């Protein structure tokens, strides 16, 4: 069987108990997460064209390729000793190829077309955007627009935010056949997470966190992963990580900043804390924070001992990061050892748009990526950015035309790669 990015959702979720909704745009997380415990999500505005899908969701699709569970005998959390759980966690990680270069979960930004673009340029695994577990169980429209995948979209982590173990399990069971991990978001530091009582604000209620992990570990046929932030005190972080592993977590991603350290550009992630977590656990550990280019990847893996790295914000500006490309900001001081990579963000954006035509997503996601990938270009020609902002209803014709307009203005901002000849000469101690 092959996997449909949209069509399969309809049959997958046909057993949903939620009553049918009127045809309208799917509610966004920003509109609904603050009301996590209400009986139904608030209705979105009726005039938001950006919440509409960018094209016909039935245009492309495949059926599932394999219904077999990655754990034929059940999740590693089921009635196994700690040693056996760790062995099975590592066996699963090895079966996936031990991916090291991973697209981090990003609300409205790590959707299927963007994941596929990053995979084309070196990403070895990826997370979905954070999905709201309650809305996912209640609203078919939300499910069909916010979660999509395809055969080539593996290994895949599907991430949920939650504060109710039963609701989380119901949401997870709907997608477990289409991913390699169900991930629990325990790291979102935004105010909306505080209001909704999820993400990093569950650090104040560790018994609840433990119950979320245990519920999934004991009932799913795929492993459970968690993504966390660190506590201000290292010992608290280590106790937290050990608790998650004991509860049944099979892989832990650690963002090396605290809940209050939200500005990743001003505050460096604590790689020493990630290293301490790695040394304290017996399951795979991923590092998140300070990944701007491949030199950072190598340094992070070496300094933390982590089994892989996650990148978020930098990938949004440069989806080719994992293929060795970097923006001009990250060659300052080493210009002589880098050269034009014959690739730029406008070309990457065109590739992204083509993925969107194949795998439809809401226009709001596309608009966001336009601003991220072309941010430097818009600084030089702000009138083109203003034209994008003024366009209430987007079309692919308009967006391709916008890229052409930037090119017609004579603008090109290249991405750079290392000049291996210069690097080789420098390594040999010869003059360049």
Q: Which residue numbers are catalytic?
A: 188
Alpha-carbon distance of 103 to 125, in angstroms, equals 6
Side-chain-facing half-sphere of 403: CA atoms under 13 Å: 21
Alpha-carbon distance of 390 to 166, in angstroms, equals 44
Query: What is the chain's alpha carbon radius of gyration, rounded to the nearest angstrom?
Result: 22
Cis, peptide link before residue 200, omega less than 30° from 0:
no
The rounded Cα 425 to chain-centroid distance in angstroms is 38
Q: At what angle do helices 112-120 and 345-358 cross, to 10 degrees?
A: 130
DSSP β-bridge partners for residue 251: 225
| CA neighbor of 187 nearest in space, from 92, 72, 310 | 310
The rounded Cα 19 to chain-centroid distance in angstroms is 30
Residue 58 is given by DSSP the state T
Q: Quick one: CA torsion of 281, 282, 284, 287, rounded to 10 degrees?
A: 20
Alpha-carbon distance of 385 to 380, in angstroms, equals 10
Long-range pairs for 375-384: beta carbons < 8 A, 24 or more residues apart: 375/317, 376/317, 376/327, 376/345, 376/413, 377/345, 377/346, 377/406, 377/411, 377/413, 380/411, 381/406, 381/409, 381/411, 384/409
The rounded Cα 281 to chain-centroid distance in angstroms is 23
- The tokens 């492309």 sit on which residue? 60
Please name the residue ranges forming H helices in 14-152.
29-32, 82-95, 112-120, 133-138, 140-146
- The tokens 């360049």 sit on which residue? 432
Alpha-carbon distance of 148 to 237, in angstroms, equals 33
Alpha-carbon distance of 326 to 317, in angstroms, equals 10
Angle at 236 between CA 234 and CA 241, to 5 degrees: 95
Alpha-carbon distance of 292 to 314, in angstroms, equals 6
| CA neighbor of 253 nearest in space, from 352, 187, 339 | 187
Alpha-carbon distance of 424 to 214, in angstroms, equals 51
Alpha-carbon distance of 294 to 325, in angstroms, equals 8
């Amino acid at each position: 069987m092959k996997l449909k990015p949209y069509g399969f959702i309809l049959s997958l979720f046909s057993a949903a108990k939620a009553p049918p909704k009127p045809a309208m745009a799917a509610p966004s997380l920003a509109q609904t997460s603050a009301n996590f415990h209400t009986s139904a999500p608030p209705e979105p505005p009726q005039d938001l064209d950006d919440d509409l899908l960018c094209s016909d969701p039935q245009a492309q699709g495949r059926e599932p390729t394999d219904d077999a569970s990655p754990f034929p005998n059940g999740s590693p959390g089921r009635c196994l000793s700690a040693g056996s759980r760790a062995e099975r966690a590592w066996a699963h990680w090895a079966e996936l190829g031990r991916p090291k270069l991973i697209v981090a979960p990003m609300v409205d930004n790590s959707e299927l077309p963007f994941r596929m673009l990053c995979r084309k340029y070196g990403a070895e695994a990826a997370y979905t955007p954070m999905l709201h577990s309650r809305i996912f169980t209640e609203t078919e429209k939300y499910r069909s627009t916010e979660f999509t995948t395809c055969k080539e979209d593996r290994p895949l982590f599907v991430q949920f935010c939650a504060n109710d173990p039963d609701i989380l399990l119901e949401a997870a069971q709907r997608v477990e056949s289409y991913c390699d991990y169900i991930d629990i978001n325990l790291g979102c530091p935004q105010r909306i997470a505080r209001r909704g009582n999820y993400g990093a604000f569950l650090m104040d209620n560790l018994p609840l966190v433990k119950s979320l992990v245990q519920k999934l570990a004991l009932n799913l046929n795929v492993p459970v992963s968690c993504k966390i932030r660190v506590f201000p005190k290292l010992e608290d972080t280590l106790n937290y990580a050990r608790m998650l592993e004991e509860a049944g977590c099979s892989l832990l991603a650690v963002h090396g900043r605290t809940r209050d350290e939200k500005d990743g550009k001003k505050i460096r992630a604590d790689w020493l804390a990630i290293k301490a977590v790695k040394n304290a656990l017996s399951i795979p550990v991923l590092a998140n924070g300070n990944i701007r280019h491949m030199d950072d990847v190598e340094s992070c893996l070496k300094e933390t001992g982590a089994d892989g790295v996650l990148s978020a914000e930098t990938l949004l500006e440069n989806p080719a990061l994992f293929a060795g490309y970097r923006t001009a900001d990250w060659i300052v001081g080493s210009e002589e050892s880098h050269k034009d990579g014959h690739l730029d963000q406008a070309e990457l954006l065109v590739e992204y748009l083509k993925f969107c035509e194949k795998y439809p997503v809401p226009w709001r996601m596309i608009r966001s990526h336009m601003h991220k990938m072309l941010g430097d270009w818009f600084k030089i020609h702000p009138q083109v950015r203003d034209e994008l902002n003024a366009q209430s209803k987007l079309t692919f014709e308009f967006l391709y035309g916008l890229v052409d307009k930037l090119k017609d203005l004579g603008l090109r901002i290249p991405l750079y790669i290392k000049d291996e000849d210069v690097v080789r000469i420098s390594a040999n101690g010869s003059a360049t």
